[in-house]
Amino acid sequence: MDTSSVKDYLIGLQNQITTAIAQIDGGNFLSDAWEKPPGEALQGHGITQILEGGEVFERAGCGFSHVRGPQLPPSATHARPELAGAPFEAMGVSLVFHPRNPYIPTVHMNVRMLSAQTAQGQNVAWFGGGMDLTPYYGFEDDAVHFHRTCRDALSPFGSQLYPKFKAWCDDYFCLRHRNEQRGVGGIFFDDFAQFDDSQNLAMLQSVGNALLPAYLPIVKKRMHTAYGERERAHQLYRRGRYVEFNLVWDRGTHFGLQSGGRTESILLSMPPLVSWSYQLQAAPGSPEHDLMQRFIVRRDWL
Amino acid sequence: MDTSSVKDYLIGLQNQITTAIAQIDGGNFLSDAWEKPPGEALQGHGITQILEGGEVFERAGCGFSHVRGPQLPPSATHARPELAGAPFEAMGVSLVFHPRNPYIPTVHMNVRMLSAQTAQGQNVAWFGGGMDLTPYYGFEDDAVHFHRTCRDALSPFGSQLYPKFKAWCDDYFCLRHRNEQRGVGGIFFDDFAQFDDSQNLAMLQSVGNALLPAYLPIVKKRMHTAYGERERAHQLYRRGRYVEFNLVWDRGTHFGLQSGGRTESILLSMPPLVSWSYQLQAAPGSPEHDLMQRFIVRRDWL
């Protein structure tokens, strides 16, 4: 596996995405290059890009990171006992965009590669990632478009991938303490090494490249919809679920914070402004109620 | 151990505290009695009291709960192997008050009792709890008053308790992913069974009874201080740390959410409105900077 070409791809993807988002927004991303201090077990560096207080995006974070560690954590070697304790390398791009207008959904995408060497000197690489959409108001068109774009990104690699990754996404992005989905889902995969390296990577790239075509048409369609205090209050309340999921259930976030990851880069995913309120329930028949009944559920969107 | 007298005390404490808070605020607590649905492993009931959108308190939650389980979780029997797998009973009062005015600190208090029967039919009870203060602007007077009140509540039970529980509080209420304390601390204890049952309970009651004398004078002193957008923005940002601590590190919250506790009661502790912002740093010399330098640190407050 030539990791430097993967790195070039990921940095290019990050720039392509943030450039497109900045263009729609009119604002600029701050670009913050960081390096892990020497002496820590995990070594590495990254580029954190963030746009805050924009016209269209209230908080849009997109991070690239590349770390090396002396020893794969046990969680990563469960399916690969031959790599237990091996030095490893991980790189990826991760993003969460929180729009200002409650009619635009929040989106999350992540593409990552892990690689390690067996004791016999053999390189092994595997891949993970996906994307999912979290609307505050439900539009069937948007959910269908997002899922179709995900399916189309995967279909060159076999028709079985989309249904598998779609179900995986529903399983993963579930707030089990509320028995509630995070949004309308999308695709999620982990530990992927089904094909040869170059085909695995091609699949990962196809997912990464699908983010803009999956999301931008929705942003453009919804960004001029008028809204008022009611929609805003609903959005801030629903954003609380995003925080709950990421801090309580998301393995990357939770593990990252507990194991000495770079806090401000991990918490790029936090919404800019969030509210909590006791047992808030939408009135039956309202669009907020419709969201919960027909969108924030497991559903076939094709 | 006569658990019904403990229960009477706890329900009385909850009412005493919420009555005093409602009186200062001018608003009313909603009182929500709940019961666990039959058939779940954990059985029990509780009273959740919450005041939202008040004049002085933007969100003030105070919950009583009493649950019975068929089997003590392993985490609870580490120090008591003779109770492994025993049926148990737990009851407590827990509160977090988030004021509107950024000059009033947030307060948290919890008092709880666990009890179980050994295979020989012997009753064993142990206690936990504490209180801690989280200011948004630092006032030495307030921190000193809070800590002195904690010390005075514990001193009838021996002079060694306050220093021990104060250090325990500093250790516990630490955001390890930021190497940052949650606030100016207070006292924290767990697995407490140092004296006989009645003396252990007397100590618990002394802590519970100290909440109002520890907190109300601070509320009254700060509630009329004028503030503007700057102080409000700082408060919302700092509240993000409260969320991070509770969802990532607080054992009660995290374990409760992951093990089927009552979500809306557990999340009484969430602030009403919270913000996140990338690498926000207070300007040296500002009161926000002073808070971090001189208050949100481990410090002897007596």
Instruction: Determine the Cα–Cα distance for residues A222 and A15; give it in Å rounded to an integer.
Output: 24
What are A88's two structure tokens?
A: 């490893």
Residue A76 has pLDDT above 80, yes or no: no
ipTM of the complex, rounded to two decimals: 0.95
pLDDT digits (tens, 9 = 90+) for A170-187: 999 999 999 999 999 999
What are B23's two structure tokens?
A: 């009186």
Residue A75 has pLDDT above 90, yes or no: no
Q: Give me the catalytic one of A98, A108, A145, A147.
A: A108
B95–chain A nearest CA distance, Å:
14
Sign of the Cα torsion A243, A247, A253, A256 reads positive
Decide if A33 touches B, using CB distance below 8 A.
no
How many CB atoms are closer than 10 A to CB A260? 13
B39–chain A nearest CA distance, Å:
17
Q: Which residues of chain A does B258 touch, with a Cβ-Cβ cutoff of 8 Å?
A: 176-177, 248
Instruction: Determine the Cα–Cα distance for residues B132 and B149; give it in Å rounded to an integer.
Output: 12
Q: Which residues of chain A does B263 touch, with a Cβ-Cβ cutoff of 8 Å?
A: 177-178
Residue with tokens 């076999």: A158
Compare CB distances from B275 to A30, A263, A272 and report the shortest one's residue: A272
* The three-state (H, E, C) secondary structure of A155-211, written as one string: HHHCCCHHHHHHHHHHHHCEECCCCEECCCEEEEEEEECCCCHHHHHHHHHHHHHHH
Q: Which residues of chain B does A30 touch, with a Cβ-Cβ cutoff of 8 Å?
A: 278
Decide if B273 touches A, using CB distance below 8 A.
yes
In the prediction, which pLDDT does B240 show? 98
In the prediction, which pLDDT does A109 show? 98
In the prediction, which pLDDT does B70 show? 86
In the prediction, which pLDDT does B40 show? 81
Q: Are B272 and B59 in contact (CB under 8 A)?
A: yes
Instruction: Determine the Cα–Cα distance for residues B294 and A155; give it in Å rounded to an integer.
Output: 58
Instruction: Answer whether A59 sits within 8 Å of B276, measured CB to CB.
Output: yes
Q: Quick one: which of A301, A300, A295, A302 has its CA closest to A135? A: A295
Going by pLDDT thresholds of 50, 70 and 90, the confidence category of residue A126 is very high
Decide if A125 touches B, using CB distance below 8 A.
no
In the prediction, which pLDDT does A198 show? 94
Q: Are B296 and B181 in contact (CB under 8 A)?
A: yes
Q: Which domains does chain A have, with CATH numbers?
A: 3-295 (3.40.1500.10)
Q: Are A118 and A82 in contact (CB under 8 A)?
A: yes
Region of residue A130 (phi > 0: left; psi between -120 and 50: alpha; otherwise: beta) = left
Decide if A248 touches B, using CB distance below 8 A.
yes
B178–chain A nearest CA distance, Å:
7
Q: List, for chain B, all residue ranges whose pLDDT scores fall below the cut of 70.
A: none
Q: Are A118 and A76 in contact (CB under 8 A)?
A: no
Instruction: Answer whether B30 sits within 8 Å of A267, measured CB to CB.
Output: no
In the prediction, which pLDDT does A121 show? 83
Going by pLDDT thresholds of 50, 70 and 90, the confidence category of residue A59 is very high
Q: Are A136 and A208 in contact (CB under 8 A)?
A: no
For residue A254, what is the nearest residue in chain B, using CA coordinates? B248
In the prediction, which pLDDT does A254 show? 81
Instruction: Determine the Cα–Cα distance for residues A167 and A251; give it in Å rounded to an integer.
Output: 18
How many CB atoms are closer than 10 A to CB B120? 6
Q: Give me the catalytic one of B108, B145, B147, B234.
A: B108
With residue B67 as reference, give the H or E element that holds it: strand B57-69
pLDDT digits (tens, 9 = 90+) for A213-229: 999 999 999 999 999 99
Report the pLDDT averaged over residues A245-271: 90
Residue with tokens 């990252």: A256
Going by pLDDT thresholds of 50, 70 and 90, the confidence category of residue A150 is very high
Its pTM stands at 0.96
What are A37's two structure tokens?
A: 């201090």
Share of chain A above pLDDT 70, in %: 99
For residue A273, what is the nearest residue in chain B, using CA coordinates? B275
pLDDT digits (tens, 9 = 90+) for A84-101: 888 889 999 999 999 999
What are A46's two structure tokens?
A: 């990254």
Taken as a whole, chain A contains a residue count of 302
Residue A136 has pLDDT above 80, yes or no: yes
Decide if A274 touches B, using CB distance below 8 A.
yes
The amino acid present at B285, given as its one-letter code, is G
Instruction: Determine the Cα–Cα distance for residues A297 and A299; give it in Å rounded to an integer.
Output: 6
Residue A143 has pLDDT above 90, yes or no: yes
User: Across the A/B interface, how many CB contacts are shorter than 8 Å?
Assistant: 87
Decide if A298 touches B, using CB distance below 8 A.
no
Residues 6+ apart with CB under 8 A from B174: B180, B181, B182, B249
Instruction: Determine the Cα–Cα distance for residues A249 and A171; give it in Å rounded to an integer.
Output: 12
Residues 6+ apart with CB under 8 A from A302: A144, A147, A148, A151
For residue B260, what is the nearest residue in chain A, using CA coordinates? A177
Q: Which residues of chain A does B274 touch, with a Cβ-Cβ cutoff of 8 Å?
A: 243, 273-276
Compare CB distances from B276 to A258, A260, A271 and report the shortest one's residue: A271
Instruction: Determine the Cα–Cα distance for residues B136 and B292; give it in Å rounded to an integer.
Output: 9
A17–chain B nearest CA distance, Å:
19
In the prediction, which pLDDT does B84 show? 83
Q: Is B289 noted as a catalytic residue in this protein?
A: no
